[in-house]
Amino acid sequence: MNQLSAKQLRDKIATRQTSSVEATKAVFARIAKIEPTIGAFISTFEEQAIARAAEIDKRIAAGEKVGQLAGVPVAVKDVMCTTFGTTTCASKILANFHAPYNATVVEKLLAADAIIIGKTNCDEFAMGSSTENSGLKQTVNPWDTKRVPGGSSGGSTAAVAAGLCYAALGSDTGGSIRQPASLCGVVGLKPTYGRVSRYGLVAYGSSLDQIGPITQTVEDCALMLNVIAGHDPADSTSVDEKTSPVTDYLAKLNESVKGLKIGIASSFNAGADEQVRKAIDEAIQTYKKLGGTIVEIDMPHLDYAIAAYYMVATAEASSNLARYDGVHYGHRTKNPNDYIEVYTKSRAEGFGKEVKRRIMLGTYALSSGYYDAYYLKALKVRNLIRGDFVRAFEKCDCIMMPVAPTTAFKIGEKVDDPLKMYLSDIYTIAANLAGIPGISIPCGFDDKQLPIGLQILSPAFSEEKLLRIAQMYEKQTDWHKKRPLI
């Protein structure tokens, strides 16, 4: 498969070397061929997408001004509200839910003249690390269809990796963009908390959730961030651009970071597979050849990140998912005897095992007598972890570490062992607890030809520098150009 990047396609459409209709029809032809194997999409919008592509082609032909993504086919994770199609969160409880409004990021994609071709599969309510927790279907990894694509944004990463779209949006609560990006060999960015509006994102962990782009290249990632970043008055957690202005992330992308200082903690590689460690070490050596220097940093509280995260995230999930009660909207049980049965049976029938598990964990952590011992203590640990990052970034420009401890594991390998599955996010969750940006970029393959990702973290609202650091590496390597033979 040889596919243009999103930016390359946009430029060819703008200069009329090709058309959006041609590109969109080609994408749907590939979906018809490959999607039955991959299972990346919950819904697709072929007729609507081709009609919109035709409109954009007409506007370009007429010399009208068009948006930054004019004519480019993209996908959206099915946890973001759209007025077209359903918004299911890959859950039976919302299988037939039609949102009354678009998420802000969807509005921004439409305003940029992107072609939204479909909504992608994920772990139910974005709770998982393999997309095996979807209540609707199984997504597989395009590099090996017997393996998981990662999660929870596995549908979006699999779609980009398999050439079923040119870019996609995912959401990241504890690594749900970066981990599947690593496992599928694509680029995935979690922006700073507050950099991208969460309005219209179905909430899992409200203080952790962040929408971000999944792309083939760092350049495409910068292009997508240009479109979706910015203040939104509809989101109270969206950051005011007066204090943290949004810049043109493409403008200075190819400028190297002079005097780059890379923070490394020896404990970061603990627990990672040998081949993963080797790939990360080799990537760091590439940066050293480009003039980067290594700075040893100490992150004493990182060992507590998993425990703190699964207290904070599940507590917020317990609160956020209380609204699915069989009364307001979503699945309602048939022939209940009373409203207690409406509530209990609707939730029992609609939610999957992992969602129920996290609701129960969170409810327990918030319950009388345990709030201080669990939830409040987790918030204190979260502050300590945030402080570790603040002190580390006084010494370095960025921190590098693995994205995941292993490459893509086999379907069914960890699904019956929740603790083992939770450890798939051991390297990613700290960035969500601290609210800082992080990116996964392809940096190699293991002996099974499965992709490995390098994770780069930087201070809050430093996405411009983070993307430049990632671009430095991508320009020196060809890992991002490799695509699965499917």
Where residue 188 falls (left for φ over 0; alpha for ψ -120 to 50; beta otherwise) is beta
DSSP conformation letters of 138-174: ---BTTBTTB---SSSHHHHHHHHTTS-SEEEEE-SS
Q: Residue length, the chain?
A: 486
Measured between alpha carbons, how far is 87 from 99 in angstroms, rounded to an integer?
6
Token digits of residue 189: 């960015």
320 closest CA partner among 415, 413, 203, 181: 203
φ, ψ dihedrals at 21, nearest 5°: -60, -45
Residue 452, SS3 per DSSP: strand
- Helix and strand totals (H; E) in the chain: 15, 11
DSSP 295: E
Phi-psi region of 194 (alpha: psi -120 to 50; beta: other; left: phi over 0): left
Q: Does the annotation count 77 as an active-site position?
A: yes
Q: Which of these is catalytic: 129, 130, 152, 458?
A: 152
Q: Does residue 43 carry a catalytic annotation?
A: no
Among the options 129, 134, 176, 440, which is catalytic?
A: 176
440 is catalytic: no
Query: CB of 396 within 8 A of CB of 457?
Result: no
d(CA 395, CA 423): 28
H/E stretch holding 94 reads none
Amino acid at 72: V
C-alpha angle 217/219/224, rounded to 5°? 95
The torsion angles phi and psi of 281, rounded to 5 degrees, stand at: -60, -40
Q: List, in order, residues 6 or more apart from 264 with CB less than 8 Å away.
A: 284, 294, 295, 296, 297, 399, 400, 401
Radius of gyration of the chain (CA): 21
Q: At residue 381, what are phi and psi to the nearest 5 degrees?
A: -65, -40
Catalytic residue among 7, 77, 108, 465: 77
Q: Any residues with CB less than 8 A from the CB of 142 and at least 6 apart, and which? A: 38, 149, 158, 161, 162, 184, 484, 486
**HSE (side-chain half, CA atoms, 13 Å) at 42:** 32
Residue the block writes with tokens 């190699």: 444
Q: Name the strand (E) or helix (H) holding 75.
A: strand 73-77
User: Measured between alpha carbons, how far is residue 373 from residues 308, 382, 434 in Å?
Assistant: 12, 14, 21
Task: Kindly list the catalytic residues.
Answer: 77, 152, 176
